[in-house]
Amino acid sequence: MDIVFAASECAPWAKTGGLADVVSGLPRELAKLGHKVRVFIPYYRQVAKAVPDPPVVLKSVTIPFSYYNRFARIVDGGNAHGVQMYFVDSPEMFDRESFYGTPSGDYPDNAERFGLFSRAVIEATKVLGIPDVFHVHDWQAAMVSVYLRSTYYFDPVFRHVPAVLTIHNGGYQGTFPPRTMETLLLPWDMFTMDKLEHYDKVNFLKGGVIYSDAITTVSRKYAEELQTPEYGNGLEGIFRRRNGDLFGILNGADYTEWNPAIDPYIAAHYTADKLAGKKECRRDLLHAFGFNGVSDETAVIGVVSRFATQKGFDFIVEIMDRLVQQDMVLAMLGNGEEYYERQLTEIAARHPAKVRVQVKFDNVVAHKIEAGSDMFLMPSRYEPGGLNQIYSLKYGTVPIVRATGGLDDTIDEQPDGSGNGFKFRGYDASLLMTAIERALGTFRNKKEWTAMMKRGMAQDFSWSKSVREYVRVYERVIQNRS
């Protein structure tokens, strides 16, 4: 099969979250199965820094807008692990400080930026080769599906080419003012509530859900949740309508990157059979965060996350006064919403012996936390898939999670302690606190704790199973459109 991926992130070039890991990991697994995979992402300033002078594959593709045409180059990002990378180069759109916006808000021309990106991918394939299937990700690439069935409707080369949309986070939909229809030269008769319009806005994700041949999301539970008012973010009706074409496929972990036996970023290597290295990693982590004199009996709780309400930071802030009374230290890494950056920094300043926070995006520190912590905290309000809890299991770091989406699918708490972690339901900070207390209670029983660590380490969340589920979805949509 010939598959073209279009996405706004791909590790290691451009990453703010799990999307980047999936767009990096899944194509490699597909390539291993013998499929041809090409991945397109924007040529952001950060990508240009890493790949400053790439060979130009297409000197100019034309993207018409209402005001004038724009022109993008397609450059060659190289072929690694059997996957061909291409970057869409449009300096006026992507040579900017960050991917989506500044702390004060999204870039005002994001509809044009990702509209251009989506059309450039379609145009590029007309020269570089039409794939058997497009696999597009989140709202930033969802317009590929919309364009294929509107602007490119009469193009015979795409008539039998299906598109699959994967939703990594339904909370971000790409909504823009109605005039976006004109700017992107989309016909006004698509601005209706059964197509692109949603509460008087153009909604890219909704368009993707309606016009894609199949929709997948990153856990089975989240596929169910999306169809409910609680988690559907207003699109639950559309998800229910597409229920027969909606699939939940759990994200796989890339164990060449996240594996304590070979991880180059951690102080010592270890496995379930030889856990001594984890102690060394714990010492290294405590040192990196400036904690002193922490006894072996004190639990080290780690957090690696975007600082956002989605991730349950309001719960964490709410329980902080009770948490610092416990025999634990909390090491947090993250950045994002200014409100939480400030709140958590203030809390750390008040309790320097118990709570430390590093406000930044730092892959090395993320690895150190996974390896050096005893527990990993992830009390998300919603969590489509979640990767960090899966990485934590591999590192023998016991997850404490809220039972939602991929967290609910992967973390299992049993009354007799035979699960792989701790979880709570409901939207109540005190339920998080009691889950942490349960974890701390088990932590005091070294035998039980070590058994739980080892159970998690033995679990396999690699791509090998999920990749086959994606292949089945591709085969299905190709057949339906042939």
Interface residues with ligand ADP (CB under 6 A)?
Answer: 17-19, 21, 169, 304-306, 333-335, 361-363, 366, 385-388
- Nearest-approach distance from CB 11 to ligand ADP, in angstroms: 8
Q: Which is nearer to ligand ADP, 93 or 253 (CB)?
A: 253
Which parts of 129-193 fold into alpha helices (H)?
138-148, 180-183
DSSP state string for 103-157: TTEE-TTHHHHHHHHHHHHHHHHHHH---SEEEEEHHHHHHHHHHHTTTTTT-GG
∠ CA 131-134-135, nearest 5°, is 140
Q: Which is nearer to ligand ADP, 115 or 336 (CB)?
A: 336
- Nearest-approach distance from CB 379 to ligand ADP, in angstroms: 13
Residue 179 β-bridge partners: none
- Nearest-approach distance from CB 359 to ligand ADP, in angstroms: 8
- Nearest-approach distance from CB 88 to ligand ADP, in angstroms: 22
Instruction: State the DSSP code for 150.
Output: T
Cβ-closest position to ligand ADP: 18
CA 39 remoteness from chain centre:
16
Q: Which is nearer to ligand ADP, 258 or 424 (CB)?
A: 258
* Nearest-angstrom CA–CA distance, 294 and 289: 12
- Nearest-approach distance from CB 33 to ligand ADP, in angstroms: 24
Note if the bond before 12 is cis, omega within 30 degrees.
yes
Specify the amino acid at residue 255.
Answer: Y
Q: Which is nearer to ligand ADP, 84 or 219 (CB)?
A: 219
Q: Which is nearer to ligand ADP, 27 or 115 (CB)?
A: 27
- Nearest-approach distance from CB 252 to ligand ADP, in angstroms: 12
Q: Which is nearer to ligand ADP, 326 or 459 (CB)?
A: 459
Q: Which is nearer to ligand ADP, 112 or 257 (CB)?
A: 257
Instruction: State both tokens at 317.
Output: 């802030």
Which parts of 185-298 fold into alpha helices (H)?
204-211, 220-225, 236-241, 276-288
- Nearest-approach distance from CB 171 to ligand ADP, in angstroms: 9
- Nearest-approach distance from CB 332 to ligand ADP, in angstroms: 9
- Nearest-approach distance from CB 7 to ligand ADP, in angstroms: 12
Q: Which is nearer to ligand ADP, 21 or 197 (CB)?
A: 21
* Nearest-angstrom CA–CA distance, 57 and 270: 44
Contacts of 372 (CB under 8 A, 6+ apart): 266, 267, 278, 281, 282, 283, 284, 285, 286, 288, 300, 302, 331
- Nearest-approach distance from CB 477 to ligand ADP, in angstroms: 25
Residue 359 β-bridge partners: 334
Closest by Cα among 258, 257, 279 to 268: 279
Q: Which is nearer to ligand ADP, 54 or 385 (CB)?
A: 385
Decide: residue 265, CB within 10 A, 0-12 exposed, 13-18 middle, 19+ buried: middle
Q: Which is nearer to ligand ADP, 144 or 332 (CB)?
A: 332
φ/ψ of 83, rounded to 5, equals -115, 130
* Nearest-angstrom CA–CA distance, 36 and 406: 29
- Nearest-approach distance from CB 239 to ligand ADP, in angstroms: 19
Q: Which is nearer to ligand ADP, 21 or 29 (CB)?
A: 21
Residue 378 β-bridge partners: 401
For the chain, the C-alpha Rg in angstroms (whole number) is 23
With contact defined as beta carbons under 8 Å apart, do 134 and 164 qualify?
Answer: yes
* Nearest-angstrom CA–CA distance, 166 and 9: 13
